[in-house]
Amino acid sequence: MEADKPTKPDGVVANAAAVAAFWLRAAEAMGLPATQPAPEAWAFGDSPEMADALLAPVLEGKKIATAGALWDYESEQEALPVPGDLSIVLDGAGNPRCVVETTHVEQRPFAAVDKAHAYDEGEGDRTLAWWREAHESFFTRFLPTIGHAFAPDMPLVLERFIVRYKPDEA
């Protein structure tokens, strides 16, 4: 979906038993009913290594935003995120590490992403120049797998989130 949101295939397979147990603890900690179904569990990026690298700043509190290609959502026939959505974020080994809640979603062309969004993604030196270079590299590699090519006017889905649950050991 995005340079730092789940892409399929991302090389990360969720540990279903660990996700189920994690969700029970998370739901209780967040005051949600134990019967509430677990949200989608996914890993950032398109490899286990990228999943771990992009999860770290989330757990540190530096990464509070992400950006994905609209075309990826469409190719997966996946609904766009909406404020209030919960997600379980996996590490590169498929283990659940935190629950995030989407707080804001908007669509913009790649070239219209601003320095505030780049900073909030919490990656690299947090500059817009770094963000553009890293994301162009990712999209250039990834988009052909879903029948598209990188373009400065390509539509992105920009998402902001907060960490709602992170166990002490995460």
**In a domain? residue 104:** yes
Helix (H, G, I), strand (E, B) or coil at 146: helix
Residue with token string 């669509």: 107
Write out the chain's pLDDT in tens, 170 residues: 344 443 344 678 899 999 999 999 999 999 999 899 999 999 998 899 999 999 999 999 999 999 999 999 999 899 999 999 999 999 999 999 999 999 999 999 999 999 999 999 999 999 999 999 999 999 999 999 999 999 999 999 999 999 999 997 54
Domain span at residue 153 reads 16-165
Amino acid at 47: S
How many structural domains does the chain have? Answer: 1
At residue 2, the pLDDT reads: 42
**In a domain? residue 170:** no
Query: Residues 103, 161: contact at Cβ < 8 Å?
Result: yes
The strand ranges marked E within 26-84 are: 41-42, 65-69
Residue among 43, 58, 122 nearest 88 (CA): 43
The pTM assigned to this predicted structure is 0.90
At residue 11, the pLDDT reads: 73
At residue 34, the pLDDT reads: 82
**In a domain? residue 69:** yes
At residue 80, the pLDDT reads: 96
**In a domain? residue 5:** no
Separation of alpha carbons 41 and 87, rounded Å: 6
- The CATH number that applies at residue 158 is 3.10.400.10
**In a domain? residue 9:** no
**In a domain? residue 71:** yes
At residue 28, the pLDDT reads: 96
Amino acid at 38: A
